């Protein structure tokens, strides 16, 4: 579904990612793991059109995205849940969710999707008229995910969904990621919590200073001694 070929992105003169090659098959969960500053978020921003690549191609269903604007990429079927959640604090939960459907005109289907988001995240339904800034971190993460789903994406980009959340909430979020994927949405997951990422992913890539240092199925990465030692904390 998504193929990244030789992607290089610079911040000024500093290369943030170098010659990346990544494949994301339709219907799968693929994770990018790595420490802070390894280029994970930059890769997602390149896919979303927030940053323009210096070289390389990003092919989505065979079309090159690398020169398109972000709103055009959303229309093609890619939604991103940003790091830090990025909800509109002064708007209600319902208003945030409706904003996620801003590119759509199909009113009836939008209402049906709202019901589906509330079924996926019952807590959002309970708080739908509440200002988003008053929600807990976990609820804001759920709202950011629900808002992205309102665009009906074929590919969902998730940037650090576990960041700053209590372990019990992290488990809940990852159960929902698995469910979203089971229902047919392809997922690209960027995550520092390698254990959680590999528990839901089919395939993973390990980034270090903007380059891929390892890749494989989730099982292969979980059994790789270097990965176990550095990223999973297993000696």
Taking only the tens place, the pLDDT of each residue in 56-100 is 999 999 999 988 999 999 999 999 999 888 899 999 999 999 999
Alpha-carbon separation of residue 38 from 35, 159, 191, 215, 220 (angstroms): 6, 13, 11, 15, 21
pLDDT at 24: 97
| pTM metric for this prediction | 0.92
Would the pLDDT of 174 be above 80?
Answer: yes
88-97 pLDDT tens trace: 999 999 999 9
Q: Give the pLDDT mean for 136-160.
A: 95
Residue 97's domain spans which residues? 87-151
pLDDT for res 235:
58
Residue 30 maps to a domain = no
Do the domain assignments include residue 124? yes
Do 1 and 186 contact (CB within 8 A), yes or no? Answer: yes
Cα distance between residue 109 and residue 96, in whole Å: 17
Question: How many structural domains is the chain composed of?
Answer: 1
145 located within any domain: yes
Quote the CA–CA distance of 123 and 157 in Å, as a whole number: 22
């Amino acid at each position: 579904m998504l193929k990244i070929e030789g992607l290089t992105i610079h911040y000024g003169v500093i290369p943030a990612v170098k010659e990346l090659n990544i494949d994301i098959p339709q219907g799968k969960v693929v994770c990018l793991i790595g420490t802070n500053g390894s280029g994970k978020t930059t890769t997602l921003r390149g896919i979303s059109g927030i940053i323009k690549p210096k070289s390389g191609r990003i092919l989505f269903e065979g079309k090159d995205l690398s020169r398109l604007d972000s709103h055009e990429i959303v229309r093609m079927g890619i939604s991103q849940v940003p790091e830090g959640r990025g909800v509109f604090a002064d708007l209600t939960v319902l208003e945030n969710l409706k904003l996620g459907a801003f590119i759509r005109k199909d009113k009836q289907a939008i209402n049906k999707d709202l019901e589906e988001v509330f079924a996926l995240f019952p807590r959002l339904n309970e708080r739908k008229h509440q200002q988003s800034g008053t929600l807990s971190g976990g609820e804001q993460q759920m709202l950011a995910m629900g808002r992205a789903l309102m665009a009906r994406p074929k590919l969902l980009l998730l940037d650090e969904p576990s960041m700053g959340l209590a372990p019990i909430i992290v488990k809940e979020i990852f159960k929902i990621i698995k469910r979203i994927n089971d229902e047919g949405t392809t997922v690209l997951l960027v995550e520092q919590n390698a254990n959680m990422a590999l528990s839901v992913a089919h395939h993973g890539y390990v980034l270090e200073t903007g380059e891929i240092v390892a890749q494989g199925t989730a099982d292969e990465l979980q059994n790789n001694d270097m990965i176990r030692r550095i990223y999973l904390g297993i000696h």
